[in-house]
Chain A
């Protein structure tokens, strides 16, 4: 785990003290709401539908047991007993009182946490592959680079007034689990023909009202040059990104108006200048120092296959089903990566109670697990689990209601908070996720359907990643009534694509049936072991459209 150095600790402490004073001045009337709002947003504090909302950063999605316990404490003491994990690996509390927020931030600082870079037009909390350091297909752990970017970006004066928010993700494996190509900038760790490790840099991806898949702007950037390269990208954005229209202010709009060739030319020009100055060269020893913080645990030489694991699979059908679906291949023999689903059937995607958070921290201590991860798919991940411990871990997770065997299946749905909580939403997302989850609850059916990513957003801002859903659902408001548009064929993985809109929106009571008809169409049309996404790509939208709108008077 990364540990704060003296500078980090002092900086976070000072920010808490500053915010305490800012809240006092707001309450005493020295600051108006207009003056205070940017200050609270710099500390992750929003005003939502029912109350304030505090968004806490989970850098690169990594938490310790101690940090998890602190989140449980905050949920219990200052909120309503639960937290909500987001699609940017953060956690949100939905009910804090303004007067309590300085105390919450002070409590967080004691476990090296904060709410910085979770709002406003800054470089946001950098996200990373949630299987970092554990995945069998990984070239290198992406988190040291994410931390280097964090250190470079937090107080950089040139990034204090960006045209708009700026989201960066880092991945280090063959499979993209971090939705890289839907970020303002993304870095993929790659190897070149000579076997050297370097960085492929993407820019101009994003969701929202104008979705784009990112373009490669740097084919192979040397490790020591990465900050110079990123600074070059930021310079181009800062100089030419639009500030006159909030809807056209993201870098994706700039990249697509300049064109890829011109974007690359401008970046190269700035990069050459910054590199020549050598002011942003990342020293090897600093890379090594930060990398050390993320060193994996010392893996034991374990029996593989594990007899305890195999015996439990034979004896317990529930364990067998869960281990079929929620485990991923670990780089070390005898170990596994566990996805803890926060998608119980009929539950709220991404919510966890304070009891669950505390109990997970206890479980981590019991089994010597130093880290837990938050995934952008709103699940939790135990990255380094001995397979022989899995039967006991599964039993405990089952007691906690955290053993739903649905990772990557049709009920593992991403949903934004939607109109149940969010001030920007046009329609509810969570109830649609709940009804879909109930409709497809049968595990046999789920496994027959196979990999199918449903993603739901309650407005065009796309926090629920609907553009990247194999099935995407967008909630819209039509004269005060909630309607839901279906999109098919999106992907947030290495084969990134933007889903295509199927047709007119469905009513709240029609959308679940429509999705079921779409899934049934897939089951009829699929060839061999083809995934839903592959079938959509092969046969196109027409057969799905025909079925989804069957019997509609205004069939298109």
Chain B
């Protein structure tokens, strides 16, 4: 079974903010995240993230599955959907609060 595309995420050390990997650095929006369709490439960036953990930029990097939909990437798990947006009960908080429509 072919595995799903993946995104690399972590939390920023200084303030805990959720960040995503894109081309060797970190971005704060899921929409800007780099999507890895092949497992080997995903594992390679997960390994590369170690340098950023050692460099005190991020903590707890891990990969999660996404689906590519017409509207963009969508995490498979509710947890990552909420992490990417903010609490569903406070739309004025988290990343969703500053998103441009």
Which residues of chain A are within 8 angstroms of B11 by Cβ–Cβ distance?
A: 47, 51
In A430-486, the 8 Å CB interface with B consists of 430-431, 434, 477, 480-482
Contact A51 B88, beta carbon cutoff 8 Å: no
Contact A47 B15, beta carbon cutoff 8 Å: no
Contact B56 A480, beta carbon cutoff 8 Å: no
Contact B79 A51, beta carbon cutoff 8 Å: no
Which residues of chain B are within 8 angstroms of A427 by Cβ–Cβ distance?
A: 78
Contact B16 A421, beta carbon cutoff 8 Å: no
Contact B15 A97, beta carbon cutoff 8 Å: yes
Given contacts A49-B82, A80-B93, A480-B76, contact A97 B87 (CB under 8 A): no
A419–B90 Cα gap in the complex (Å)?
13
B89 beta carbon closer than 8 Å to chain A: yes
Interface of B: prevailing SS: loop
Residue-by-residue, is B29-59 near A (CB-CB < 8 Å gives 1, otherwise 0)?
0000000000000000000000001111001
Distance to closest chain A CB from B37 (angstroms): 20
Classify chain B's interface size: 20 to 34
A29 beta carbon closer than 8 Å to chain B: yes
Residue-by-residue, is A477-501 near B (CB-CB < 8 Å gives 1, otherwise 0)?
1001110000000000000000000
A421–B88 Cα gap in the complex (Å)?
9
Contact B56 A29, beta carbon cutoff 8 Å: yes
In the complex, which residue of chain B has the Cβ closest to the Cβ of A346?
B89
Residue-by-residue, is A264-300 near B (CB-CB < 8 Å gives 1, otherwise 0)?
0000000000000000000000000000000000000
Contact B89 A50, beta carbon cutoff 8 Å: no
Contact A419 B16, beta carbon cutoff 8 Å: no
Partner of B82, one of A47, A51, A99, A419: A419
Which residues of chain A are within 8 angstroms of B13 by Cβ–Cβ distance?
A: 26-27, 33, 98
B77 beta carbon closer than 8 Å to chain A: yes
A431–B77 Cα gap in the complex (Å)?
17
Contact B79 A27, beta carbon cutoff 8 Å: no
Which residues of chain B are within 8 angstroms of A80 by Cβ–Cβ distance?
A: 93
A33–B60 Cα gap in the complex (Å)?
9
Contact A420 B15, beta carbon cutoff 8 Å: no
In A405-436, the 8 Å CB interface with B consists of 419-421, 425, 427-428, 430-431, 434
A382 beta carbon closer than 8 Å to chain B: no
A322 beta carbon closer than 8 Å to chain B: no
A52–B90 Cα gap in the complex (Å)?
17
Which residues of chain B are within 8 angstroms of A348 by Cβ–Cβ distance?
A: 89-90
Which residues of chain A are within 8 angstroms of B77 by Cβ–Cβ distance?
A: 477, 480
Contact A50 B16, beta carbon cutoff 8 Å: yes
In the complex, which residue of chain B has the Cβ closest to the Cβ of A99?
B14
Contact A26 B56, beta carbon cutoff 8 Å: yes
Contact A97 B16, beta carbon cutoff 8 Å: yes
Partner of B14, one of A50, A97, A421: A97
Distance to closest chain A CB from B92 (angstroms): 9
Classify chain A's interface size: 20 to 34
A428–B82 Cα gap in the complex (Å)?
10
Distance to closest chain B CB from A380 (angstroms): 20
Given contacts A27-B13, A98-B15, A482-B78, contact A47 B89 (CB under 8 A): no
A102–B86 Cα gap in the complex (Å)?
25
In the complex, which residue of chain A has the Cβ closest to the Cβ of B88?
A420
Which residues of chain B are within 8 angstroms of A50 by Cβ–Cβ distance?
A: 16-18, 83, 86-87, 94
A419–B60 Cα gap in the complex (Å)?
18
A348–B90 Cα gap in the complex (Å)?
9
A49–B17 Cα gap in the complex (Å)?
9
Contact B78 A419, beta carbon cutoff 8 Å: yes
A434–B15 Cα gap in the complex (Å)?
30
Given contacts A27-B56, A419-B79, A482-B78, contact A99 B87 (CB under 8 A): no
In A22-55, the 8 Å CB interface with B consists of 26-29, 33, 47-52
Which residues of chain A are within 8 angstroms of B14 by Cβ–Cβ distance?
A: 27, 97-99
Distance to closest chain B CB from A354 (angstroms): 14
A281–B72 Cα gap in the complex (Å)?
67
A179–B87 Cα gap in the complex (Å)?
29
A49–B60 Cα gap in the complex (Å)?
12
A51–B11 Cα gap in the complex (Å)?
8
A421–B54 Cα gap in the complex (Å)?
27
A421–B82 Cα gap in the complex (Å)?
8
Contact B16 A99, beta carbon cutoff 8 Å: no
Partner of B53, one of A33, A51, A95: A33
Contact A49 B89, beta carbon cutoff 8 Å: no
Which residues of chain B are within 8 angstroms of A98 by Cβ–Cβ distance?
A: 13-16
Given contacts A97-B15, A419-B79, A434-B89, contact A47 B60 (CB under 8 A): yes
Between-chain CB contacts (< 8 Å), 21 pairs = A26-B13, A29-B55, A33-B53, A48-B16, A49-B83, A50-B86, A51-B11, A51-B16, A80-B93, A97-B15, A98-B13, A99-B14, A420-B87, A420-B88, A420-B90, A421-B87, A430-B89, A434-B89, A477-B78, A480-B76, A481-B78
Shortest Cβ-Cβ A-B pairs, 7 listed: A51-B16, A97-B15, A420-B87, A52-B16, A430-B89, A33-B59, A49-B83
Known: A33-B53, A419-B79, A428-B88. 7 other contacts (CB 8 A): A49-B18, A49-B83, A97-B14, A98-B15, A420-B89, A480-B77, A482-B78
